[in-house]
């Protein structure tokens, strides 16, 4: 599991996205992101507070850029 300092989440002016919105942006099903979190198949930074999971838009953009094929 890849964790990030909570200060980044609190101070961030980036949009905080739940799993459904993050999956929509990436063109995936929410279940795919859940599987990736559990298996570590792909490393996308996320925050978990209690049972809630959040992604920052900048982390999704970083993931997409790092996985670009061209």
Query: pLDDT digit of tens for each residue in the chain (70 aa)?
Result: 555 566 665 665 778 999 999 999 999 999 999 999 999 889 899 999 899 999 999 999 999 999 899 7
Per the structure, how many domains does the chain have?
A: 1
Where helices occur in 1-70 by DSSP H, the ranges are: 6-11, 19-26, 30-39, 57-66
Q: What is the model's pTM?
A: 0.77
CATH number of the domain that 62 lies in?
Answer: 1.10.1660
DSSP character for 27? T
Q: Assess if residue 1 is contained within a domain.
A: no
Question: What's the chain's length in residues?
Answer: 70
The predicted structure's pLDDT at residue 24: 97
Q: Name the residue range of residue 25's domain.
A: 6-66
Q: Assess if residue 33 is contained within a domain.
A: yes
């Amino acid at each position: 599991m890849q964790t990030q300092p909570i200060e980044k989440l609190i101070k961030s002016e980036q949009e905080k996205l739940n799993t459904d919105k993050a999956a929509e942006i990436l063109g995936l099903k929410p279940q795919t992101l859940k599987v990736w979190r559990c298996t570590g198949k792909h490393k996308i930074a996320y925050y978990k507070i209690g049972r809630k999971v959040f992604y920052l838009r900048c982390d999704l953009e970083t993931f997409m850029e790092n996985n670009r094929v061209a």
